[in-house]
């Protein structure tokens, strides 16, 4: 009995040891299982949770690429500005902090305090503030408040080319104009930058990407000439003001290429502060607004007649002494004309004569010609919001409709469509696609894409285009309706238009007109096709009187811009800038003689396009650094030309309007 008790006494310690061991083993297994759960099963979730605590990501606003004119003058740039942010969850005194911050920024205190009381880890207080306010905030050294650099879009010439350029919003997205059309190229790709924070929310490390600045988008080289655009806008605005008109449009286009050298619409707005203007002012009337073209459309009726072979410039029509009944409606002329040739119908702008030409040609042939000139469809210009105009099917035309269409009623066009169509006449009958972007360049100055002239189709034969040009040239001769559009000593080919506007309730207004002149110059060797349209002028309303003088002034400015001289040579001036500090000097000599003599030409002041064209013509290699105009070259001018590649350094030009 005693032995049994002693045995049991010895087993108890062993049992306790085993129980403790089992307990430790159980705890170990539990810890092991928990560790496996945390490190394996919940690894991703916990890592994400930790990242949220110590890592903070901010998506940077990309820097938009520069927009240049055809001479590499900056029209839109991105400048670094500072924006104020706060972390409400780390601010213990939102009232006091908010009042100090509001005073520094010039904002209502209630608004700032409200933002600081939000249950958020990040809020914007003010975006893109001026340097003085940014410094005032920085001097406060407020806990939980900071500043960051953001690019801000800036248009150095304010309203210049505002409808072409458009504007970009706070998030660096293009909202209107080429800013919107080419947003995917200009904006670039945003990126996220990360920073590490300690338990108190203090930044302890910033990733290198955050210090390198926002990524920059591609750059655009436009077809616009800044100096010409300025002149066109000035002339157009003065004409609108003189006649107390509602607005106006003007387009200058190179017929052979489709390059738009100037495109203007009045009223204008300042894209730097676009929010201060009504949205209606953003509208680019040249491509969005349609209007009945009036008598300018008679040239295309004549084009249809020439294409049909049924008429010649000398074909004669009886113009009914000023009144003609068609389909129960009376068509009037401003004068009581009798017999007129087709040339005289265009020169004197006879409605009855144009309607009789249309009757001779027929509805289907007319419609086909109008389509071939691009009416009733978009020009596909590289701008958003283009209208296609109105050209109803020929089968729906009643006799009176056909007559009305022949003098520009019952059809609607845009200003750009009308310019494109008259440019086709100037271009020997070939219709070109109008465009505003010559080239796209990346941030490093490398060419990404270049716009080549694009033929849309043939609107008329070269012989018919020549005959129509001769008719249109009579419009500006003595007795014609467009004598005030003369640009002596050059011969102008064009057509006046005075179109009654439609009343909102139906019918035509007796006081509202669209006054236009559209044409090209020089008539024998066209360099520019130009449209001027004035909306609802007061006092005078005839196109030749209202739009004609403005057209002539714009034509002179365009010819001067292109370097066209009265000698008739029609030479394009090399696009060098006048000598001034920080600018390349104007080209003083033709490089061709130097090349012919086996010498290195002086390329300073040339654009990249000109350098490449010159070197390509001579089968010479060229190495390029940068973008803009040549400021350095190797070999130097005057040296012997050999097999060595020409090296040039280019920089963007600087300057004002």
Alpha-carbon separation of residue 641 from 163, 610, 625, 644, 646 (angstroms): 46, 18, 20, 8, 9
Q: Could you tell me if 530 and 419 are in contact, meaning their C-beta atoms sit under 8 angstroms apart?
A: yes
Q: SS3 string of 349-416?
A: CCHHHHHHHHHHHCHHHHHHHHHHCCCCCCCCCCCCCCCCCECCCHHHCCHHHHHHHHCCCCCEECHH
Task: Give the C-alpha separation, 625 to 205, whole Å.
Answer: 36
| Cα–Cα–Cα angle for 137, 141, 143, rounded to 5 degrees | 110
C-alpha closest to that of 453 among 256, 262, 613, 263? 256
Within 8 A by CB and 6+ apart from 21, the residues are: none
Structure tokens at 209: 């990407």
Structure tokens at 137: 């905030």
Phi then psi dihedrals of residue 32, to 5 deg? -65, -45
Task: Give the C-alpha separation, 611 to 649, whole Å.
Answer: 11
Structure tokens at 272: 């730097």
Sign, CA dihedral 581-583-589-591, equals: positive
**Which sequence positions are flagged as catalytic?**
295
Task: Give the C-alpha separation, 255 to 394, whole Å.
Answer: 29
For residue 12, with 0-12 CB atoms within 10 Å meaning exposed, 13-18 middle and 19 or more buried, which class applies? exposed
Bridge-based pairing of strands 339-341 and 508-521 is unpaired
Within 8 A by CB and 6+ apart from 133, the residues are: 104, 105, 106, 126
Task: Give the C-alpha separation, 546 to 300, whole Å.
Answer: 22
Task: Give the C-alpha separation, 626 to 420, whole Å.
Answer: 34
Residue 93's SS3 state is coil
Alpha-carbon separation of residue 384 from 149, 287, 356, 381, 462 (angstroms): 31, 9, 39, 8, 33
DSSP secondary structure code for residue 280 in this structure:
G
C-alpha closest to that of 496 among 223, 285, 243, 296? 296
Structure tokens at 76: 């839109």
Identify the helix (H) or strand (E) that includes residue 329: strand 329-332
Task: Give the C-alpha separation, 209 to 190, whole Å.
Answer: 12
For residue 336, with 0-12 CB atoms within 10 Å meaning exposed, 13-18 middle and 19 or more buried, which class applies? exposed
Structure tokens at 261: 């050298």
Residues written for the chain = 657
What's the half-sphere exposure (Cβ side, CA atoms, 13 Å) at 344? 14
Q: How far apart are the first and last CA of the chain?
A: 121
């Amino acid at each position: 009995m005693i032995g049994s008790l002693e045995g049991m006494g010895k087993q108890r310690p062993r049992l306790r040891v085993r129980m403790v061991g089992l307990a430790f083993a159980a705890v170990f297994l539990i810890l092991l299982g928990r560790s496996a759960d945390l490190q394996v099963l919940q690894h991703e979730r916990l890592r994400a949770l930790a990242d949220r605590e110590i890592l903070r990501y901010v998506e940077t606003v990309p820097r938009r690429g520069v927009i240049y004119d055809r001479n590499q003058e900056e029209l839109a740039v991105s400048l670094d500005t500072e924006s104020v942010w706060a972390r409400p969850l780390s601010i213990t005194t939102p009232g006091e902090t908010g009042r100090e911050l509001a005073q520094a920024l010039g904002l209502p205190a209630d608004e700032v305090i409200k933002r600081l009381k939000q249950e958020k880890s990040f809020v914007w207080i003010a975006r893109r503030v001026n340097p003085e306010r940014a410094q005032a905030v920085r001097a406060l050294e407020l806990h939980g408040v900071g500043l960051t650099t953001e690019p801000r879009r800036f248009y150095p010439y304010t309203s210049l080319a505002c409808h072409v350029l458009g504007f970009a919003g706070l998030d660096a997205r293009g909202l209107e104009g080429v800013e919107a059309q080419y947003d995917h190229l200009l904006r670039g790709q945003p990126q996220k930058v990360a920073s590490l924070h300690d338990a108190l929310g203090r930044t302890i490390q910033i990733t290198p990407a955050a210090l390198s600045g926002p990524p920059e988008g591609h750059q655009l080289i436009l077809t616009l000439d800044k100096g010409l655009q300025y002149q066109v806008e000035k002339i157009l605005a003065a004409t609108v003001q003189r006649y107390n008109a509602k607005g106006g449009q003007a387009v200058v286009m190179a017929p052979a290429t489709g390059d738009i050298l100037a495109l203007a619409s009045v009223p204008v707005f300042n894209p730097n502060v676009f929010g201060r203007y009504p949205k209606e002012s953003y509208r680019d009337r040249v491509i969005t607004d349609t209007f009945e073209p009036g008598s300018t459309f008679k040239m295309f009726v004549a084009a249809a007649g020439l294409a049909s072979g049924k008429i010649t410039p000398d074909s004669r029509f009886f113009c009914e002494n000023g009144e003609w009944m068609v389909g129960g409606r009376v068509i009037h002329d401003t004068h009581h004309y009798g017999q007129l040739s087709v040339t005289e119908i265009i020169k004197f702008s006879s409605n009855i004569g144009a309607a009789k030409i249309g009757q001779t040609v027929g509805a289907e042939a007319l419609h086909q010609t109008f389509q071939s000139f691009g009416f009733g469809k978009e020009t596909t210009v590289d701008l958003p919001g283009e209208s296609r105009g109105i050209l109803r099917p020929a089968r729906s035309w009643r006799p009176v409709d056909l007559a009305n269409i022949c003098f520009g009623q019952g059809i609607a066009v845009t200003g750009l469509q009308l310019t494109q169509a008259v440019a086709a006449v100037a271009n020997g009958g070939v219709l070109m696609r109008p465009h505003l972007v010559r080239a796209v360049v990346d941030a490093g100055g490398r060419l990404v894409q270049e716009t080549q002239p694009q033929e849309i189709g043939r609107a008329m034969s070269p012989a018919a285009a020549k005959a129509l040009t001769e008719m249109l040239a009579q419009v500006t001769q003595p007795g014609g309706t467009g004598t005030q559009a003369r640009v002596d000593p050059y011969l102008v080919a064009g057509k006046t238009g005075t179109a009654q506007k439609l009343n909102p309730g139906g019918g035509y207004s007796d006081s509202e007109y669209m006054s236009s002149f559209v044409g090209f110059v020089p008539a024998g060797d066209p360099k520019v096709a130009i449209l001027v349209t004035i909306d609802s002028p007061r006092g005078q309303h005839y196109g030749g009187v209202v739009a004609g003088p403005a057209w002539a002034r714009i034509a002179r400015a365009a010819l001067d811009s292109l370097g066209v001289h009265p000698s008739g040579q029609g030479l394009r001036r090399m696009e060098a800038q006048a000598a001034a500090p920080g600018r390349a000097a104007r080209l003083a000599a033709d490089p061709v003689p130097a090349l012919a003599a086996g010498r290195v030409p002086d390329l300073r002041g040339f654009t990249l396009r000109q350098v490449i064209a010159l070197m390509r013509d001579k089968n010479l290699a060229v190495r390029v650094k940068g973008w803009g105009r040549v400021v350095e070259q190797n070999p130097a001018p005057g040296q012997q030309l050999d097999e060595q590649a020409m090296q040039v350094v280019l920089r963007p030009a600087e300057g004002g309007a």
